Amino acid sequence: MTVRPLIIGKVHLATNLLLAPIAGYCDLAFRLVARSCGGVGMACTDLLCPEGVLRENKRSMELAATKKGDSPLCMQLYGSDTDRLCEAARWAEARGADVIDINMGCPVDKITKRDGGSALLCNPDRTLNMVGRIRSAIPNTPLTAKLRLGWNDESIVAPMIAARLENTGVDMITIHGRTTEMRFSGEARLDGIAA
């Protein structure tokens, strides 16, 4: 991999090394430690529940906490309620998020049973409409999306969804090279990412 600058929308990053939104790990302390090691172009929060941040739930506020030195910062949102995601995106923008990411890749039952995370891949038209509305809600902040290849081997939809996300104005797309059914096992499929 070649380390080089990266531009996401209007945000210029010193490097293309991004600290991914890893559930259970990416709190403020972890992000600051990673930044202190050097080379991090941007760090991302743990996935944030729109309802939690809008109600200022204690745990959600801990996950979204930031301070000077924690920049550039991406805040990742998950869910399926378009109105709440739009509100949460504006909330994140107002609290200093340089980039806002929509999680369409989490395979965990707690998330997918509520039609969030990688369950969004099962209804592309609805999902693309949702992302388009989020884009309209935050026209001046870069919007990104993280997705998986598809729900299973019979429903590889990432190439089609990625192309359509680009048309909605998404500034960057990250593809996890596994299906939802694979969860975190097996080898990532680089050919699926390349497509």
Instruction: Find the catalytic residue in 26, 44, 49, 106.
Output: 106
Q: Is 37 a catalytic residue?
A: no
**pLDDT for residue 2 is more than 90:** yes
Q: What is the pLDDT of residues 119-161, one digit of tens each?
A: 999 999 999 999 999 999 999 999 999 999 999 999 999 999 9
Q: What percent of the chain has pLDDT over 70?
A: 99
Q: What is the pLDDT of residues 69-110, one digit of tens each?
A: 999 999 999 999 999 999 999 999 999 999 999 999 999 999
Q: Which CATH number fits domain 6-194: 3.40.50.720, 3.10.20.30, 3.20.20.70, 3.30.420.40?
A: 3.20.20.70
145 CB-contact burial (10 Å; exposed 0-12 / middle 13-18 / buried 19+)? buried
Nearest CA among 75, 69, 107, 104 for reference residue 92: 75
Q: Is 52 helix (H, G, I), strand (E, B) or coil?
A: helix
pLDDT category at 1 given cuts 50, 70, 90 is confident
